Amino acid sequence: MPKEVRNWLEALDALSAAPQYHLLLLENDRVRVLDTRDSQGQSVPLHTHRWPSALYILSWSDFVRRDGEGRIVVDSREIGKPAGETALWSGPLPQA
């Protein structure tokens, strides 16, 4: 297991904390592939993604990501909306 993922809370892992929104497609010692689906207006439980991610976005709606204390960590309205289907890179998403 890579050094950067050793001390993360398993209970906050996306597959544990928000399984209804994340489907594991593939996992090995080098990669983890998730199918993530949520809809506009849904509130997804607090969760983390411990590995960097390549995201392929089929459709987009604005979102606000909060930490465990409710502080805003990411507000997509400040990032800008990708045009159409697009691929993006994201670093790990910790709990705070």
pLDDT tens digits, 15-66: 999 999 999 999 888 888 999 888 878 888 888 888 888 888 888 788 888 8
- So what's the pLDDT on residue 22? 94
pTM, whole model, 2 decimals? 0.72
Using only the alpha carbons of the chain, give its radius of gyration.
13
For the cut 80, the answer to whether the pLDDT of residue 3 exceeds it is: no
The backbone torsions φ and ψ at residue 4, rounded to the nearest 5 degrees and listed phi first, read: -70, -10
Give me the residue spans of the domains in the chain.
3-90
- So what's the pLDDT on residue 1? 47
Burial profile 56-70: b = 16 or more Cβ within 10 angstroms, e = fewer = eeeeeeeeeeeeeee
- So what's the pLDDT on residue 18? 93
- So what's the pLDDT on residue 21? 93
